Structure 1
C-alpha cells in the first residue's frame, strides 16, 4: 500500500513504542507507558477490527480461581506460588476497577459458585474436604474464609446438593470494559491502528523494524501483548486455547444470578440480565481446541446445549441466540510470561484464561520493564 507523506509522518515516523495487541494487556501497557513517558509516541497495532483473542470475547468473570482450580494448581505449584498467583489476580481486578470504575464495568458482586456433576463424586468429596485447608492457604490475602458449601437454590439437576460458594467473585460487562479502555487510550493520544497483522520484525539493536500486512516501519521499542497468538512470533512456552461460547435469548423469570464453574472449571456460565451465557468444553478435544481459528465445533456446541438442557435449565425452555469463540494463551505453568526478549523487544503473555483478572496488572508489569 502506498502511504502518503502525511500518513507516514503522523503515524509511522519517530515511533517510540509499538504495542502489538489492543486487548486488556496492550491498552493497559500503553496507558502505563503514557504515564511514564508523557511526550512519547505510542502506536498500538491490532490485527482485527476489534481486539482479537479473548479481550472482547470472554465471559466477563471477575474471578481469581474456583476451589477446584486452586486444588489443581497446588498439584503443580507450591503453596507460595499459588498464593502469589491469586494475589496477582486480586491486584489486577482492583487495578481494573480503579482505572475504569464499577459503574462503567457494570460490576456486580453476585459471588461465584462451583457445582459438581453426579458422575464426579470423588472430586466433589475432595473439594468439600479441602475447603478448610484452601481457606487457610488464602487467608493472608482475603483475611476471611473464601469458600463455603451452600445448598443448591437454583434448581440445577444432575449435580450434588451442595455448591461451593465464593462471595469475592463478581461479573462485569466485557464490552463496556473494552470500549472504556479504548476511549481512555485515544484520549491519552495513543494511536490505534486496526487490521494490522505483524508478520515479522528485526531488532537492529538501535531500533526495531516491524513488518505488517500493510507496511514496514521503525520503532524504538516493540512490545507483544497478543497472548494466545504470541507463540508465532515470540517463540514462548505457550499455546493457544480456544474457548467456545453461546448465549440464550431472554428467559422469562430466570432466577440464576452469579458466575458459575462446572466440571473442574472446563465449563462456566453466568447470567447476563435474564439470559445465560455458557462456554467451555475444550477438555472434550484438547488437540482440536489448541488453535487460533475462531470457529465452533458440533462436538462442543452439542455438549453445551446438552448441559444447558439437563443441568442448568432443566425446567425452562430456552433458545440459543448467538455463538462465538475466543482464543486464550495457556501453558504448563500458570505464571504469566513478562520478559525482555531482546535489546528492544518485550512481551507480556500467557494469561491462562485469567485475562480480566490479571490483564491490567500484566500490562503494567510489561510497561515497567522499560525505564
Structure 2
C-alpha cells in the first residue's frame, strides 16, 4: 500500500520515537518521553483493535508477590534480587496511582489472601513458618511487615484453616486504567494507530526502518513494548509467551468475598468485581501447551477452573459463567524485566513475568529514560 502525501506528512514523517505496543508499558513509555521531550513527535503502533497482550486481559491485581511466590523466587534468585524485584513492583503501582489517580484506576485496597489447598499440608506449614522471615525481608520495601495470618473468614472449602494475607496489595479496574492511559496519551497529542502489524525493524542511516504489513517508514528511535510477542521482533533476548486463561461469572447475589486471592504459588488467582468472581490461571497444568501466542482455550484448564470455582471458591452455590478470555504474558528464566538498548536505535521493555499491572508503569518510564 502506498501512503498518500497526507498520510505520510501527518503520521510518518519526522518521527522521533516510535513505540510498538499500546499496552501498559508502551503507553507509559510514550507519556514519559513526552514529559521529557515536549517537542518530539511520538507514534504508537498497535497490531490489534485493542492491546493484544495482557494489558486489557489481566485480572487487575495490584500485587507484589505472595508468600509462596517469594519463597519460590528465592530458590532461583538471591535475597537482594528478590527484594529489588518486589521494590520495582511496589514503585510501579505507586507511580501508576500518582500518574492517574485512584478514581481513574478504580483502585481499592482490600489486601490479598493466599489460600492453601488441603492436599499440600507440608507446603502450607513451610509457608506459615516462613512468615516472620519474609516480613523481615520485605519490611525495607513496604516500611512495615506486610504479611499476617487470617482465619478462613470467607468460608472457602477444601483449604487449610489459615490464609496468609498481604495487607498492602490491592485491586483495580483494568478497563478504566487503560482508557485513562489512552486518554492521557491523546491529550498529550500522542497518536495511537491500531491495526498496524510491525513485521520487522531494521537499523538505517536515519535511525530505524519500520516495516509493517502494508507500508514502511523511518523513526529516529524505536521502543519495543510487546512483552509476550517480543521474540517476533527481538531475537537477541529470551522472552517466552505464556497464555493465561480467565473466566468471569454472572452477577452473584449477596457475594461476600472482598479482596484478591491466590493459591498454588500464584498460578491460580481470583477476585470480586461488580458482584462477580473473576478467576484465572492453571497454566502450570500444561506449561508446554501454554507457551504460545495463540489465542484459544484448553479443556484441561477450563475444566479445572470450573471445578475449583464450584468446589473451593463458591461451594454449594449455583453459579453461571458469563464469559472467558485469553491473555498473553511474557516470561523467562529470570523474573526481572528486560529494559535495555538492543542496537543503536532500538530499545525494549519486555518480560514482565505476569506482573504487568504492578511493573508496567515503572518499566515504561525506565524504557523512556534510555532514550537520548
What's the TM-score once normalised by structure 2's chain length?
0.99
Distance apart, 1:141 and its partner CA: 1.3
Instruction: Name the residue aligned to 1:141.
Output: 141
Counting only pairs closer than 5 Å after superposition, residues 272-351 of structure 1 correspond to structure 2 as 272-351=273-352
| Secondary structure in structure 1 of the residue aligned to 2:149 | strand
Contact 2:206–2:219 (CA<8 Å) still a contact in 1? no
Match of 1:32 in 2: 32
Query: What is the deviation of 1:20?
Result: 0.2
Alpha-carbon deviations, 1:179-212, whole Å to 9, x = none?
0000000110111100111101210243111101
Aligned to 2:184: 184
SS in 2 for 1:130: helix
8 Å contact 1:202–1:210 — kept in the other structure?
yes
Question: Is 1:205–1:344's contact at 8 Å kept on the other side of the alignment?
Answer: no
What is the rounded CA distance, in whole Å, between the counterparts of 1:191 and 1:214 in structure 2?
18
Is 1:226–1:349's contact at 8 Å kept on the other side of the alignment?
yes
Matches within 5 A, 1:60-75: 60-75=60-75
Q: Distance in 1 between matches of 2:164 and 2:283?
A: 23
1:3 shift after superposition? 2.3
The answer to whether 1:151 aligns with 2:151 is: yes
Paired residue for 2:166? 166
Deviation per residue, 1:286-311 (Å, 9 max, x gap): 00000001111111111000000100
Structure 2 CA distance for aligned equivalents of residues 273 and 13 of structure 1: 45
Partner of 1:239: 240
User: Structure 1: 5+ residue runs without aligned partners?
Assistant: none
How far residue 335 of structure 1 moved from its aligned partner, in angstroms, is: 1.0
User: 1:288 is paired with a residue of what secondary structure?
Assistant: helix
Structure 1 runs, 4 residues or longer, greater than 4 Å off? none
Q: Distance in 1 between matches of 2:250 and 2:363?
A: 35
SS of 1:29 mapped into structure 2? helix
**Cα contact 1:115–1:262 (8 A) shared by 2:** yes
Q: TM-score, normalised by structure 1?
A: 0.99
Aligned position for 1:48: 48
Please report how far the alpha carbon of residue 171 of structure 1 lies from its aligned counterpart in structure 2 after TM superposition. Answer: 0.4
Task: Please tell me whether residue 112 in structure 1 is matched to residue 112 in structure 2.
Answer: yes
Q: Deviations over 1:85-108 (max 9, x none)?
A: 011000000000001100111111
Q: Is the 8 A contact 2:206 2:218 kept in 1?
A: no
Structure 2 unaligned spans of 5+: none
- State whether residues 114 and 260 of structure 1, in contact with CA within 8 Å, keep that contact through their aligned partners in structure 2: yes
Shift of 1:344: 0.3
**Is contact 1:329–1:349 with CA below 8 Å preserved after alignment?**
yes
1:241-260 per-position Cα deviation (integer Å, ceiling 9, x unaligned):
00000000000111101000
**Kept in 1: contact 2:224–2:230 (CA 8 A):** yes
Secondary structure at the residue paired with 2:34? helix
Q: CA deviation at 1:262?
A: 1.2
Residues in 2 aligned to 1:20 and 1:243: alpha-carbon distance in whole angstroms: 22
Q: Distance in 2 between matches of 1:337 and 1:205?
A: 26
How well do the aligned residues superpose, as a CA RMSD in angstroms?
Answer: 0.8
1:54, distance to aligned residue in structure 2 (A): 0.4
Note if 1:87 corresponds to 2:87: yes
Measured in 2, the distance between the counterparts of 1:149 and 1:273 equals 27
Measure the CA separation in 1 of the matches of 2:227 and 2:201: 17
